[in-house]
Amino acid sequence: VIEIGQPEHSVVTTCAYCGVGCSFKAEMRGEELVRMVPWKDGQANRGHSCVKGRFAYGYSTHKDRILNPMIREKISDPWREVTWEEAYAHVAAEFRRIQYQYGRDSVGGITSSRCTNEETYLVQKLVRAGFGNNNVDTCARVCHSPTGYGLGQAFGTSAGTQNFDSVEFTDVAVIIGANPTDGHPVFGSRLKKRLREGAKLIVIDPRRTDIVRSPHVEASYHLPLKPGTNVAILTSIAHVIVTEGLANEAFIRERCDWSEYEDWASFVAEPYHSPEATEAYTGVPADLVRGAARLFATGGNGAIYYGLGVTEHSQGSTTVMAIANLAMVTGNIGRPGVGVNPLRGQNNVQGSCDMGSFPHELPGYRHVSDDATRETFEKLWGVEISSEPGLRIPNMLDAAVDGTFKGIYIQGEDILQSDPDTKHVAAGLAAMECVVVHDLFLNETANYAHVFLPGSTFLEKDGTFTNAERRINRVRKVMTPKNGYADWEVTQKLAQAMGMNWNYRHPSEIMDEIAATTPSFALVSYDYLEKMGSVQWPCNEKHPEGSPIMHVDGFVRGKGKFIRTEYVATDERTGPRFPLLLTTGRILSQYNVGAQTRRTDNVVWHAEDRLEIHPHDAEQRGIRDGDWIRLASRAGETTLRSLITDRVAPGVVYTTFHHPTTQANVITTDFSDWATNCPEYKVTAVQVMPSNGP
Ligand code: SF4
């Protein structure tokens, strides 16, 4: 029997894991968190939760947390604990020295999709106003940056179109490159409920995920495509819709540019886009594609949900645009039950993008070359902002290797473990003169750091997170920061040390500044959030109660834009040496690189990553279930144990990436999305062979 103390008070806050953004009551006894109880009035979760939000909070008090700032001259030196004041002064002096020596653009920053909107806003402000350049990027670079680009092009705004409630009106759901049962469990449950009520399901995924067939739920169609062929499949579906006369022409004439539609329709109607023609390289039988296309076009309200299996490809942005095309050609935009719905991985990946974390965009997705937008911030901040886009994360690393980029401030992000081509990331970090890591733990990136600034958990701060449905949820401080300061306070102190006159007394004042400068947040304030519970942006005079569904009367860009989506095969090819294709994903109990969940009791549910391999491929290689195997690609190799299953098709292998020993990114290539540089994590040619273990 485990004796749990009785709570003395509770505070409502928001889960710090996935993009569903569940609300919880943190039940406290003094400074001790007794338990997390899903909040029945939570507008994103309505009293539901998963094992991560419910149980995986122990990392906040884990012994591995670093609570004092540390400095070292060289990365081979031991760490030396210093006072906060010494750390701030040291970072300020180093960044100024580097800029004096190598130029204004030789430093930059990375924001975190795990931190609050207010903290992210401050990091991009520090870079733009303090460093004087636009060298700021976010970890969304490696996940949903193609969503930002693709939806921005097609609809005019870089966000999902619906609220989660919308699923209750869906008749046909398409899931492509996502596994909501594991990745977004509370939304996955709502979707399954709708499916049990009779809605139809189409799954486009190389792997037979749980939702394809589970108790009382069976997909009408599972299209098990070869990894890397999303664009071909989606364009083939469009081909069937157009050539069989299933397009919603009334919607298109009213809401889209008709001449662009005609051009696109003639493109997709080309015979080489037919399911019969694409079958040879997608691996999906033509009759399945035709059946799925007819169901989606004629089955009533059609909604498309997608995840990183769409974006993390060399054609990630093209795939997002192909999804937008399908929604428009069937008229599935602008009402409940339909829409284009990116399932965001991290709790605040939507927010970090909203807050101007990209090197080409100021808060609210406004390009740095836009004079009026720059002027708004210049007047308020009292600085001149560069109209030139800055460096993306991969460009920063390239420039570091080339010797022109020398200093970086990384908040809440472990680029050495999460970014592709680990050797190149390490080389870039090693070439810098001042790497500042601001995090909870000495993560892998900290091996290359000169300064470590202790971070705070979501339990130790006030702020807001924005979930996958654009819902701005309050994060409320439930305990005193173990390290002494919330992350926004640390960034402010750094800015002050660099000579900037920042005097925010509370994150609510940062949100007031965001609202004053960003039209889609114009009415957002902590008082308003208290009154409304939460709001979905845009929240302004035109939409005072927020916007659960976007593009209701017209697209943000005016007319919806059909864009040709030509399939281009990835440069990553299989061959005799590397005959299998590796793709990756997550498991329910763990989160991303596992920095948090591995430091909780959730680790008992998933103590290691294993390689899923089809029985046929395993037998050919003499591999039995649970054997150690060597997984090798052109980039590198690693060792893990096998899991033999027909969830994956012959020729495809799959692993999760929650444990650092898996070293998944030693295997992945440096190919990336043509528009955004989002890495192609989801397609790697590999060989698998028996091994004696690590
Ligand atoms: Fe909700 Fe996601 Fe947190 Fe689970 S991980 S409790 S689904 S926000």
Which DSSP category does 585 fall into? E
Rg (CA), the chain: 24
If one residue of 13, 18, 591 were mutated to test the ligand 1 pocket, choosing by the most ligand atoms within 8 A of its CB, it would be 18
pLDDT value for 693: 80
Measured distance CA(583)–CA(656) in Å, rounded:
9
Considering Cα of 639, then 642, then 648, then 652, what sign does the dihedral take? Answer: positive
Concatenate the DSSP letters of all residues of 422-488 into one string: HHHHHHHHHT-SEEEEEESS--SGGGG-SEEEE---GGG--EEEE-TT-EEEEE---S--TTSS-HH
Give residue 423's pLDDT band: very low, low, confident or very high (50, 70, 90): confident
Q: Per-residue pLDDT tens for 189-248?
A: 999 999 999 999 999 999 999 899 988 889 999 999 999 999 999 999 999 999 999 999
Q: Is 190 in the pocket of ligand 1 (CB under 6 A)?
A: no
pLDDT tens digits, 376-414: 999 999 999 999 999 999 999 999 999 999 999 999 989
Q: Residue 560 pLDDT more than 70?
A: yes
Ligand 1: which atom is nearest the Cα of residue 186? 7
Q: How confident is the model at residue 58 (pLDDT cuts 50, 70, 90)?
A: confident
Task: Assess whether the C-beta atom of 49 lies below 6 angstroms from ligand 1.
Answer: yes
* Check: complex ipTM more than 0.95: yes
Average pLDDT, integer, range 360-374: 95
Q: Is the CB of 19 under 6 A from ligand 1?
A: no
Cβ atoms < 10 Å from Cβ of 413: 27
The pLDDT-based confidence of 421 (bands split at 50, 70, 90) is confident
8 Å CB contact between 411 and 118: no
Find out whether the beta carbon of 186 lies less than 6 Å from any atom of ligand 1.
yes
Residue 598 clears pLDDT 80, i.e. is over it: no
Closest listed residue to residue 243, CA positions, set 205, 210, 273? 273
pLDDT tens figures, 472-519:
999 999 999 999 999 999 999 999 999 999 999 999 999 999 999 999
22 C-beta closer than 6 A to ligand 1: yes
When the pLDDT of each residue in the chain is averaged and rounded to a whole number, the result is 92
Percentage with pLDDT > 70 across the chain: 98
Span from the CA of 15 to the centroid of ligand 1 (angstroms)? 6
3-state SS assignment for residue 373: helix
Between the CA of 617 and the centroid of ligand 1 the distance, in Å, is: 35
Confidence check: pLDDT of 3 > 60 = no
Q: Is 316 in the pocket of ligand 1 (CB under 6 A)?
A: no
Whole-angstrom CA distances from 587 to 57, 590, 607, 608, 658 are 17, 6, 11, 11, 8
Q: Are the beta carbons of 568 and 560 closer than 8 angstroms?
A: no
Asked if residue 562 has its Cβ within 6 Å of ligand 1, the reply is no
How much is the average pLDDT of 449-461?
96
Residue to probe by mutation, ligand 1, list 184, 192, 586, most atoms within 8 Å of CB: 184
Whose Cα sits closest to atom 6 in ligand 1? 53
The secondary structure of the chain in percent helix, strand, coil, rounded to multiples of 5, reads 35, 20, 45
* Nearest protein Cα to ligand 1, atom 3: 53
CA neighbor of 311 nearest in space, from 283, 281, 275, 349: 349
Q: What is the pTM of this model?
A: 0.90
Closest residue to atom 4 of ligand 1, CA basis: 50
